[in-house]
Amino acid sequence: MLEQATGQVEAEIPVAPVLTPFQHGKPFVTEEEEKSLGTQMFNLHRWYLRMSNDEGKMFGVKYRDHDFFRGEDDFWVYFEDLYHIYHRQALDAYIITIWVL
Entry pTM: 0.59
Mean of per-residue pLDDT scores for the chain? 75
Distance CA 30, CA 55 (A): 21
Does residue 66 contact residue 47 with C-beta atoms inside 8 Å?
Answer: no
Q: What would the pLDDT profile of 13-43 be if each residue is shown by its tens digit?
A: 777 666 778 888 888 888 888 888 888 888 8
**pLDDT tier for residue 68 given thresholds of 50, 70 and 90:** low
67: pLDDT strictly greater than 80? no
Residue 90 has pLDDT above 50, yes or no: no
Can you give the residue ranges of every domain in the chain? 24-100
Cα–Cα distance, 58 to 61 (Å, whole number): 10
